[in-house]
Amino acid sequence: MNPRRTSGDAGRLESSHRLSKEGRRVAAARHADAKSRILDAIQKIEAIIIRNDGIYPDTPDGKVSVQVVLKVADLSPAYLEKDRPNIRALKAEVRGRLKKIAEVTPGNVDVIRKKIGEQANAARAETRKVRQAYAEAELGHAQTVFELAEARKRIEILEKENADLLKQIAGRKVVPIDRGRRK
């Protein structure tokens, strides 16, 4: 039997093709968005690693995995598990980028502890220097305040002596010294 196509069948077929084409377009746009978010996430992770001297602090072992990238990209952990050519290609690209990141980051907890320990020791040493400088400044300030108080006391004494001397000579007739010697 040879079924005959009717005009209704042609309309449904055309509608199906349009729907399929639109679905592919939407899927491609979603994939492009996800890819962009994943690549942005990798750049953010690299920036964090650079700021932290080669350590990614948001994982216990300092290693960056595909799941970490997906979390930073705010995508489902299963996104790259789909069996589609474009997803497989993206996953391979992500793994390649992560391999390069792993080459420059210590993936060993002992190395991370050592680096963090060094950073902590450097911070402690800097804190000690700041405390020492602060203590020295406090001593210098206290010494200056003491010297200022002593100087004010001396000024007060001298002003009193000056006032007393002015009172003593106020009632007397003052004769210039030069005149007395010329005679």
Q: Which of 24, 34, 26, 23 is nearest to 78 (CA)?
A: 34
Split at pLDDT 50, 70, 90, the class of 62 is confident
What is the per-residue pLDDT for 170? 80
Beta strands in 58-152 (DSSP E): none
Look up residue 42 and give its amino acid: I
Output Rg (C-alpha) for the chain, integer angstroms.
43
Split at pLDDT 50, 70, 90, the class of 2 is very low
What is the per-residue pLDDT for 81? 86
Split at pLDDT 50, 70, 90, the class of 1 is very low
Average pLDDT of the residues in 81-107: 84
Q: How many angstroms separate the CA atoms of 87 and 68, rounded?
A: 17
Split at pLDDT 50, 70, 90, the class of 163 is very high
Q: What is the pTM of this model?
A: 0.50
What percent of the chain has a predicted confidence (pLDDT) above 70? 83
Highest mean pLDDT among 36-40, 133-137, 161-165, 170-174: 133-137
